[in-house]
Amino acid sequence: MSVPQFKRVVIKLSGEALAGEAGFGLSPQIIKSVAEEIKDVVNLGVEVAVVVGGGNIWRGKVGSEMGMDRASADYMGMLATVMNSLALQDALEKLEIQTRVQSSIVMTQVAEPYIRRKAVRHLEKKRVVIFAAGTGNPFFSTDTTAALRAAEIEAEAILMAKNNVDGVYSADPKTDPTAVKYDELTYLDVIQKGLQVMDSTASTLCMDNDIPLIVFSIMDKGNIKRAVQGDKIGTIVRRSL
Ligand code: UDP
């Protein structure tokens, strides 16, 4: 019988992780597969919150490069995360996992508003809580959302599921053959070396609040469960080693 290492986690899924090979839009097969993995973790008794990105639909940076006002473009990005969140909720409920979407931008017809105490209550009842619409603020990312919500709900770790890489490397492994994968790192290493793990706002928030981050590939089925069980997969980033 496998024993989970964490009681409560935040799973960060990038939008691209839900898009599959195409890199944009939503892949029903991938969403189903991710939902099955989340179900496995819930069945271990772990309380699961999920932060979903929106990069498979829209990124604020792209909009601003096209000449849009950055704040407006970022709000579009936050709305994209709501679409992904509803798709994941649907897939989880098809597997009979009770799921609530809480949105940082109020839209009561489709999601609950984000209320920290209510989110914690859902988690205690073993419902999956999906945090949609990022932090609700432009100029932030969903990585920062994961760090912020993890601190607020006192999650013991952030599990960062990547679709294009299986951990943190010294350089981009796709373009640099000398790139080496790290097993463990500190947040200071990430910031000082400029490693492409999460943005610096998210990294400092995790560091200041002492929240460990496990970065791994979503492409190997069962990895979310492995990460929860403390198996050595991907890269672990901590405040200190
Ligand atoms: N976003 C934002 N504030 C937040 C979270 C997200 O403005 O708190 C916007 C931002 O434009 C971002 C987009 O939403 O580009 C999608 O989020 P993100 O890029 O983090 O998604 P991911 O890369 O994880 O798919």
Query: Quick one: which atom of ligand 1 is closest to the CA of 143?
Result: 20
pLDDT range class, residue 1, cuts 50, 70, 90: low
- Residue the block writes with tokens 């189903």: 32
What mean pLDDT, rounded, does the chain reach? Answer: 95
pTM value surpassing 0.95: yes
**Does the Cβ of 55 fall within 6 Å of ligand 1?**
yes
Taking residues 202-214, what's their average pLDDT? 97
Dump pLDDT digits (tens) for 89-121: 999 999 999 999 999 999 999 999 999 999 999
**What is the spatial distance between Cα 28 and Cα 22, in angstroms, rounded to a whole number?**
12
Please determine, for residue 130, whether its predicted confidence score (pLDDT) is greater than 60: yes
pLDDT at position 213: 98
Domains and CATH numbers, the chain: 8-238 (3.40.1160.10)
- pLDDT tens digit string along 158-192? 999 998 899 999 999 989 999 999 999 999 999 99
234 lines ligand 1 (CB under 6 A): no
- Separation in Å, CA 114 to CA 106, 119, 211, 217: 8, 7, 21, 28
Cα distance between the two ends of the chain: 29
Reduced to 3 states (helix: H, G, I; strand: E, B; else coil), residue 236 is strand
Q: Could you tell me if the CB of 60 is within 6 A of ligand 1?
A: yes
Kindly state the DSSP code that residue 37 receives in the 8-state scheme.
H
Residues above pLDDT 90, as percent of the chain:
93
Distance 3 CA to ligand 1 centre (A): 33
Q: Which are the contacts of 73, defined by CB distance < 8 A and separation ≥ 6?
A: 58, 60, 61, 62, 63, 64, 66, 138
- Distance set, CA 235 to CA 92, 94, 218 (Å): 27, 32, 13
CA distances, 203 to each of 163, 206, 209, 212 (Å): 20, 5, 10, 10
